[in-house]
Structure 1
Amino acid sequence: MSLQDKLDAVRAEDLAKSPPNATLARRRAVDGLVTSGLAERAVQAGDEAPAFRLRDGNGKAFSSRDAICRGPVVLAFYRGRWCPYCTVDLRAIQLASHDIRRLGASLVVVSQQTPDNSLETQRRNGLSFESLVDPGGRVANAFGLRWKAPDELRAVELESGLDLAAFNGDASWTLTMPARYVVAPTGAVEYADISSDYTKRGDPSEVFPVLAHLAAH
């Protein structure tokens, strides 16, 4: 089963159990994000990747500049462990992680959530790569992926039990668009997949030919 098939199954389950007002608010938020053109203005293939330093849940530092000196970096942004779509996506990335490393790349994922929640994400999903903490979405913003949840969405998520401010340790109620990048040793973005609609993601296997090309050159 492809990643998108798994995401579609999550979506069907989500629609079946969510109150109509929550489904409507989430759909309106996605539609608004799509029409805003934010994804098109975000960092794309051919752009220079913003350099950054972040820490994982244990406080270990990661430098993108240092990482690309060793080879390409596969970088994935996700919303948080509260998001079932992100859970499915992260597990798919884990399944692809051996081949990603075999092709000479390193792999990290990034979210705005707190260090404890990042560690819990790694534990629950058996991730063999670091989940970096992006306080306030600073790095997501540099990549053009950060957006503010509208009041309608905030209200229904609080009603459903999701307090994003507590999860992220930040009162801004901002979210990160899910995205996947391949950054070459030159610092250039060789591949970008950005999801305005969080229920749709490119398959992790799409990075394989990009990494193979980089390895050959």
Structure 2
Amino acid sequence: MNLQHDLERERIYWLHKQPAPVSAVERMALDWLGRSGMEGKALRVGERAPGFRLPDQSGALVSLESRLALGPVVLLFFRGHWCPFCSLTLRSYQKAAPRFAALRSPLLAISPQGAVANGESSQRLGTSFPLLSDVGSHVNRAYGLAYDLPAGLRALFEGEYATPLPEINSDGGWTLPLPATYVIGQDGMVLYAHVDVDFRRRQDPEELLAWLGARYADVGARGSL
């Protein structure tokens, strides 16, 4: 599976499927996010990653600290099960999960949606790694990724998308994260960061696996990171 190919195919599909006014609002929203400077405010390489303890899709609490005990954590921030680009990304990482495990790099994914929605996502996509619920977007904000949808996009979600985001997120709010991918070292420092205001662009797991493989060629000899 080539994630970039699938993302581009999905982008073209929606470009042709959506009415022109809807596409225009999305373009304005992306322009607005670009002008906001949010990418520059997100957590960067060399900074300490905020810790967290969140429920996964089964309700069990998972902490960043507990996963870092296993190795450098690959941390994915996604918008929700309603986002086809998020689903493609999670499915792609699931297919690559055994290879991340071989590098002792556990996968975690965080979204603002509730545990029920994450459970539906996990069942539909067959994910074996935790999908964590950041209800209220506290972790998203700590990583500098959270933003509140402008009125134009809220109208799209309520009408054209038929996606009741405040219900899905279980907090009554209209907050989403910028999609992002981080690698957190065992010392809690950010080793790798990919953040993009365009929700249609994501970090390819193949590129990340190559980066991890080059950095930690001798997995057995690796100590604390």
TM range (shorter): over 0.9
Aligned match of 2:7: 7
Deviations 1:61-108 (A, max 9, x none): 111112212211111010000000111111111111111110011111
Give the % identical residues. 37
2:63 is equivalent to residue 63 of structure 1: yes
Give the Cα separation in 1 of the matches to 2:109 and 2:84.
16
1:42 has 2:42 as partner? yes
Per the alignment, residue 152 of structure 2 pairs with 152
SS state at 2:136 partner:
helix
Are the aligned partners of 1:191 and 1:210 in contact in 2 as well (CA < 8 Å)?
Answer: no
Cα RMSD between the aligned structures?
1.3
In structure 2, the partner of 1:196 is 197
User: What one-letter code is carried by the residue in structure 2 that aligns with 1:44?
Assistant: R
Q: Which residue of 2 aligns with 1:174?
A: 175
Aligned-pair distance for 1:171? 2.0
Give the unaligned 5+ runs of structure 2. none
CA apart distance, 1:207: 2.1
Structure-1 residue corresponding to 2:105: 105
The separation in 2 between residues aligned to 1:57 and 1:34, in whole angstroms, is 32
Task: Tell me the secondary structure at the aligned position of residue 54 of structure 1.
Answer: strand
**Structure 1: gaps (5+ residues):** none
- Greater share of helix: 1
Moved beyond 6 Å, runs of 4+: none
1:124 matched to 2:124? The reply is: yes
Contact 2:45/2:190 (CA < 8 Å) preserved in 1?
yes
- The AA in structure 2 aligned to 1:3 is L
TM-score, normalised by the number of residues in structure 1: 0.95
Could you state the TM-score of these two structures normalised by the residue count of structure 2? Answer: 0.92
